[in-house]
Amino acid sequence: LERLAALREELRGKILVDVSNATVDGPDGLPADLIYPGSSLAEQLQEALPETRVVKTLNTMLFPVMTAPATLTQTPTAFLSGDDPQAKLTVRELLTDLGWQEAWITDLGQIQTARATEAAILFVPHVIRSTGFTPFAISIAR
C-alpha cells in the first residue's frame, strides 16, 4: 500500500488491477488473518489513490487459475469489485483475453464488495491442507 501510494501521480487516471489479498501469515506461511478487517486492501488502495481506478479481481483462486481458468474441471468465477464502471469493463475484457468466459465473470458492485472476496482467503489454507496445492477457485454454482 505504501509503495503504490508513493506512485500517486504516476497512477493518476490509470486502472490498477488488484489481485492480492492482504493477510498475516500463520506459522506455516499460509494466510491466517486479514490485515484490514472491516475493510479491504482494494478499499485502502482506492482511498490512498483517489484518482486511480482500482478494480479487484482474480483474488479468489490459486494463481495458476488466473491465466488458465479452463484447466479446472468445474466452472470458476472471477469477481469484479470497483467504483468505476468503465474500468471494470476494461478489466472484464482483459479477463476474457486470459480465457475467462463472460458467464464466469460476476460484477459484485462497488469497491466495498472486495471485503467479501478478500475474506474468502481465510478458508484457503484449510483447503490446501485438506487437498494439497491443487489449483482451485471459488465458484458460484448456478
Q: What pLDDT tens digit does each residue of the chain (142 aa) get?
A: 999 999 999 999 999 999 999 999 999 999 999 999 999 999 999 999 999 999 999 999 999 999 999 999 999 999 999 999 999 999 999 999 999 999 999 999 999 999 999 999 998 899 989 998 899 999 988 8
Residue 9 C-alpha cell reads as: 501521480
CB 62 within 8 A of CB 68: no
- Containing domain of residue 30, as a range? 2-131
pLDDT score for 141:
84
CB 136 within 8 A of CB 65: yes
Does some domain include residue 139?
no
Does some domain include residue 24?
yes
Does some domain include residue 98?
yes
Does some domain include residue 61?
yes
Q: How many alpha carbons fall within 13 Å on the CB side of residue 131? A: 7
The DSSP call for residue 71 is G
Does some domain include residue 84?
yes
CATH of the domain at 38: 3.40.50.720
Residue 19 C-alpha cell reads as: 489481485
Contacts of 25 by beta carbon, 8 Å cutoff, 6+ apart: 31, 32
Domain count along the chain: 1
